[in-house]
Structure 1
Amino acid sequence: MRVLITGGQKSEMASALKEQLSKNNVYYIVARKQQGNSVISTLVQDDIYTFLNVMELADILMENQIDCVIHLSNKPITSNSMKDSFDQSEENIACTIEVLEACVQANVHKIIFPSTIAVYGDVDGAITEEMLLQPVLFEGLSKKLEEKYIQNYHILYGLSYTILRFPIVYGVSSVHKLRESVIESTIKKVIENRPPIVFDNGEQKKHFLYISDAVQAIISSLKNGENQVFNICPEEKYSMKEVVSIIQSSVNEEVFHSLEEGEKSRISTRKAQIDLKWNAQVPFSNGIRLTIENIKQNDDQINRTLK
């Protein structure tokens, strides 16, 4: 198995994924789209290939005899502005189409695409992968369109795929961080004795998946889950009020019990359990403690570097 990761520079998911691929003795390379005026693909620092267009990416795929592309090159849609979110979404969709085209040209067997549970929107009852997608948030709408392109490329060109629908993924694995999740930013505020930012009165329940569980789903998809979509989600969800309380207890090394059991999820992961042999392994409280430890270690490392 030979793997190419798109958009893997300074990405927490990519860093953790590369570490796990190495442990499993899976050959991988990383590629990103060049933003400058370079006319040829080059091998740059940290062994990251760069490309300008579909043809150059296809050449990289063929030269390295890539079997599977893990497509992480999606920018987060953070704006509430219709225009800004449209521009970000359009960029992500265009990038995904380029990757799909290159995969077809290079006869790549499979693409793995991390999507989001936001594609479902606000629905009642149990949530399974076969449900009609009715996204409300711009991120969910963008991912829905990307999923459809991937599925159409399978129908038209035979490119296999696995689509993984993630909730909020958290967990720090390196000093270099382009964008923090709400968990990391809240932990840092608690550690620094600053008031955490809580939106919507902190009552809305959300799902939080530790990064190692997300990575394990991707690793399992390398050889399983052909042409299928999977919910990759923990069993429980928490409000931000509960999250803040758990973080405060963990930072202060207190023992808590009542907040350990979050509200049960309506998102079914039965399909992932059967076909990917995947289950979330890291309870939320453990994930919070691990993230706190990593943040403190990274802060110590930065302080030592500055001295």
Structure 2
Amino acid sequence: MDLLFIADPLDTFKVSKDSTLAMMRVAQAAGHRLWFCQSCHVLWRSNAVVADCQPLVIKPSSSTAWYELGAIQDRALNSFSAVLMRTDPPFDIEYLNTTWMLSAAVRQGAKVFNNPAAIRDHSEKLSITEFPELIPPTLVTRELGAIEQFHKEHQDIVIKPLDGMGGMGVFRVGKDGLNLASIVETLGENGARTLMAQRFLPEITQGDKRVLLIGGEVVPFALARIPQGSEIRGNLAAGGKGVAMPLSDAERKVAQYLAPLLNQRGLFLVGLDLIGSYVTEINVTSPTCFVEITEQSGFDVPQFWLTALEKALA
């Protein structure tokens, strides 16, 4: 198969733990041909969605340079066996433009994972509101007064922007309400941006768990991102410690409920975030943690992903 990876520049990859690189390695080892481009290299030309892309070879781990790119070629996206959209957020207007281009490619017969329309329809934070029975008490608003009332009701809350990633812009406001108005005004740019507030979950001390859903199936191990010191954020980008562990019965029940449903919508790969058994985010752009789970648990996540992809393309 010819697999096109649309991703960030290769030189920005964290080689020791990059999930996209893990996908590339396992696909190449299985004999599939790899191609690479950035989202800015996807274009409409001559009545087709094409990519100015390059053949890609992943070198052995011992090599100084871990990849080799061939000459740029102009190929229609529907000429690939699969197109893997792995560009990292932020989900800005250019990301959105890329999904529209990819939707046009889908109409021309391209097979894109995750489906671009499904990515657009599932805000990584707001999509949890479809499942109110699975989420903690949650408020989405631009109004300071509404957040003040929510805080009065729940006493201990977390406030975050809808477009943050890696724990960016997450604040906890305790019972004393210290700096609540200032936090809301700053994060919300005085009412210009929508915020999400949720009841603080003390289970965060056991980790913000990333559960991977692949092809409608559940990876049986999660990566618990555990906050360190006085930090409330478990995100690895915020200094959290990643510990792989088997799913609890409650976590497995939630994941097995959502996995086939989301897969039917075109979300082949999903990173479900759970605190306790509560769903806090549904990540659909470029879910990670393949390498950490594999190394610590022995469960081969990249191979699980490839098997599911080959099945989806059969």
Whether these two folds match at TM > 0.5 is no
TM-score by length of 1: 0.39
Structure with the higher helix share, 1 or 2: 1
